[in-house]
Amino acid sequence: MGNLASALVTGASAGIGTATVRALTAEGIQVWAMARRTDRLQALAKETGCIPLVADVQDGPALDAALDGITPDILVNSAGLGAGITGLLSASREDLQTTIGTNVTALLDITRIVLPGMIARKRGHIVNIGSVAGLYPINSVVYGGSKGAVHLISQNLRLELRGTGVRVTEINPGRVTTEFMEVAVPPDAASFPKDLPIKSMTAEDIADAVTYAVTAPGHVNVSMIEMQPTEQSFGTIQFDPLEWAND
């Protein structure tokens, strides 16, 4: 596009967010890198020239002030987590609030705050990091539920923004090697498949997809990219006879 010159990346202190900051700054885009962890953001700023923005995406009342004067052409909603990923029955109420609060409410809130500027400047691009868990039933009620919301938020946002020139892209990755699972899976959930015997994607692979979407020509909206390890697929059918119901 050429005229998208700046970006705000949330969840920038680790994983896909960090890789996206690196990829976009390498494209010559000015990046505000937003996350809670000051030391990591400062190291990333030294390395990439990004502008650190220390804030908590879940801290609603503070967000307006934190984003005051920040006028990105691109918003990458990368902040996300998987508290409660082991199952609804093993999740706490706090897990539910944390996951919905970060993956859904904060994504809507930050998008709501930056959109008026994009619409007024007649250029903008919202990139939401979703998940294959938001598209297929892969046994992920809480996390998949939150990412399913991101999927429909992206599709509906595209309709709400008709005629504004603001693009909306969702990127739905399968397994990526990041801190995600370390944070999401409690130490006592030993049976949860935290590590897989395959070559997972890297955060850089996802950042490549973000770059492809944001550098597409102005008339093109790369609206959805789904990507997964070559060694991963989704589906199959389960049969579970209930022995006790056979009489």
Partner 1 sequence: MTKLKTALITGASSGIGEGIVRVLCEAGLTVHALARRAEKLSALAKETECKAHAADVTDQDAMAGVLDVVRPEILVLNAGRGAGFDGIANSSPKDISSTVATNVEATLMLLHLALPGMIERGRGHIVTMGSVAALYPSPSALYGGTKAAVKQIAENLRLELCGTGIRVTDIRPGRVTSEFYDTAVDDPDKAAAAKNTGIRELSPIDIGNAVRFAVMAPPHVNVSTIEVQPLEQTYGGLKIDPVAAISGNS
Please give the residue ranges that form the binding site for partner 1 (CB under 8 A): 155-156, 158-159, 162, 165, 167, 172, 199-201, 205, 208-209, 212, 216-236
SS3 218: coil
C-beta neighbour count of 39 within 10 angstroms = 10
Instruction: Please identify, using beta-carbon distances, which residue of 33 and 129 lies nearer to partner 1.
Output: 129
Kindly name the residue from 17, 32, 143, 171 that is annotated as catalytic. Answer: 143
Instruction: Please identify, using beta-carbon distances, which residue of 35 and 222 lies nearer to partner 1.
Output: 222
Is 136 designated active site? no
**CA distances to 22, 98, 225 from 206, in Å:** 12, 24, 10
76 CB-side CA count, 13 A: 33
Q: Shortest gap between Cβ of 230 and partner 1 (angstroms)?
A: 5
CB contact set of 24 (below 8 Å; sequence gap of 6+)? 7, 9, 31, 74, 76, 207, 210, 211, 214
Backbone dihedral region for residue 227 (phi beyond 0: left; psi -120 to 50: alpha; all else: beta):
beta
Instruction: Please identify, using beta-carbon distances, which residue of 52 and 173 lies nearer to partner 1.
Output: 173
- Cα separation of 178 and 184, whole Å? 11
Instruction: Please identify, using beta-carbon distances, which residue of 56 and 226 lies nearer to partner 1.
Output: 226
- Cα separation of 2 and 169, whole Å? 17
Q: Shortest gap between Cβ of 214 and partner 1 (angstroms)?
A: 13
Q: Shortest gap between Cβ of 221 and partner 1 (angstroms)?
A: 5
Q: Shortest gap between Cβ of 233 and partner 1 (angstroms)?
A: 4
Residues known to be catalytic: 143
